[in-house]
Amino acid sequence: MDYERLKALLDSSSRVVITTHRSPDGDAIGSSLALYHILQQNGLNVNVIIPDADPEFLHWMKGHDLITVFETQKESAEALIEKAEVIFCLDYNRLDRIADMGAAVEKASAKTVLIDHHIDPSPDFDFRLSKTTASSTAELIFEFVDALGWKSLINKDVAECLYTGIMTDTGSFKFSSTSAYTHRIAAHLIEVGLVPDQVHNAIFDTNSFDRLKLVGYALSKKFEFDATHGVSIIGLSLSEKNRFKYQKGDTEGLVNYGLSVKGAQMAVFLSEELHFTKFSFRSKGEIDVNKIARSFFNGGGHKNAAGGRLDMSLPQSIKYLKDVIHHKISL
């Protein structure tokens, strides 16, 4: 990342758009809003645009009410993208991953800035801060803000956004991507006024009764463990989700239960939608689910956490998944 050149560009620009990936998670929203507050404090006209709505447990973050949703506010989103001079792309690294919104960004005349920690970034960005070793994009936003000399602008609101990103992407500081630097950032965020348990409660202790029943149902009725291969599979159909009044985010983290079984090396969660099924993969150690998701499930992500999607029903998807596990990969 050429910080000098980027700083000059930001100094001479006024309109900035921040974008992130589809089905935005804590890191996507936390990183976007943190950067939003920092750039706004620098006098820029900033808009955050997300491809589709994010789960309710993220809505408390400061600035959230100003986010534009591409799917439901297409015209205004496209106008903002078209007029932007700089477009930030956070927590994803290929424009084709964000469908229609990616096409709009590609068409725009703005310079693009990638800040991301996923494997294999596309070269089509004007500036890139891409580190696969970073725990989260939020961690990279901190690094970016620090490098530009704006660390003193990180106030409590910004700290809450960054902490949310780091905490959710590290499984509360437990994944192997958590480094000494990750903890140093957390320490700094606490020093500027962040209260960790407040953020933790806002993210994790807001379960609806229906959500917990859905999780209980998934674990007791829809959970298979293949001890031979060390694979956990949990799949929910669309009608099952509807039965428990499914809301976006309700199945977040379910895949981690699969990986917590003794002897599990890989866990897969399948969630059926109207015309396709979404896959979440988690693995331990050397098992590379990014590669598996890329090769067989139209997806990708990180070595130990990835996603994918197939135009199949849940039963077809489970059958296909088992065929891959039994015949196409070695576990």
The neighbouring-strand residues paired with 49 are 19, 68
Q: How far is the CB of 31 from Mn ion (least distance, A)?
A: 7
Give the pair of three-digit tokens for residue 300: 């990708």
Q: How far is the CB of 102 from Mn ion (least distance, A)?
A: 17
Q: How far is the CB of 262 from Mn ion (least distance, A)?
A: 28
Q: Toward Mn ion, which CB reaches closer, 45 or 132?
A: 132
Q: Toward Mn ion, which CB reaches closer, 98 or 318?
A: 98
- What values do phi and psi take at 223, rounded to 5? -110, 120
Q: How far is the CB of 117 from Mn ion (least distance, A)?
A: 6
Q: Which helix (H) or strand (E) holds 329?
A: none
Q: Taking CB positions, which residue lies at the least distance from Mn ion? A: 27
Q: Toward Mn ion, which CB reaches closer, 25 or 250?
A: 25
Q: Toward Mn ion, which CB reaches closer, 139 or 288?
A: 139
Q: How far is the CB of 312 from Mn ion (least distance, A)?
A: 27
Q: How many residues does the chain have?
A: 331
Q: How far is the CB of 88 from Mn ion (least distance, A)?
A: 14
Cβ proximity of 202 and 239 under 8 Å: no
Q: Toward Mn ion, which CB reaches closer, 91 or 272?
A: 91
Q: Toward Mn ion, which CB reaches closer, 28 or 108?
A: 28
Q: Toward Mn ion, which CB reaches closer, 30 or 230?
A: 30
Q: Toward Mn ion, which CB reaches closer, 204 or 320?
A: 204
3-class SS at 117? Answer: coil
Which residues contact Mn ion by CB under 5 A? Answer: 27, 91, 136-137, 169
Q: Which helix (H) or strand (E) holds 45?
A: strand 45-50
**For residues 238 and 196, what is the distance between their CA atoms, to the nearest angstrom?**
35
**For residues 169 and 139, what is the distance between their CA atoms, to the nearest angstrom?**
10
318: left (phi over 0), alpha (psi -120 to 50) or beta: alpha
Cβ proximity of 86 and 9 under 8 Å: yes
Give the pair of three-digit tokens for residue 236: 């929910």
Cβ proximity of 308 and 297 under 8 Å: yes
Distance of CA 190 to the CA centre of its chain: 23
Q: How far is the CB of 26 from Mn ion (least distance, A)?
A: 8
**For residues 307 and 145, what is the distance between their CA atoms, to the nearest angstrom?**
29
Q: How far is the CB of 15 from Mn ion (least distance, A)?
A: 26
Contacts for 189 with CB less than 8 Å, ≥ 6 apart: 154, 159, 162, 163
Q: Which helix (H) or strand (E) holds 327?
A: none
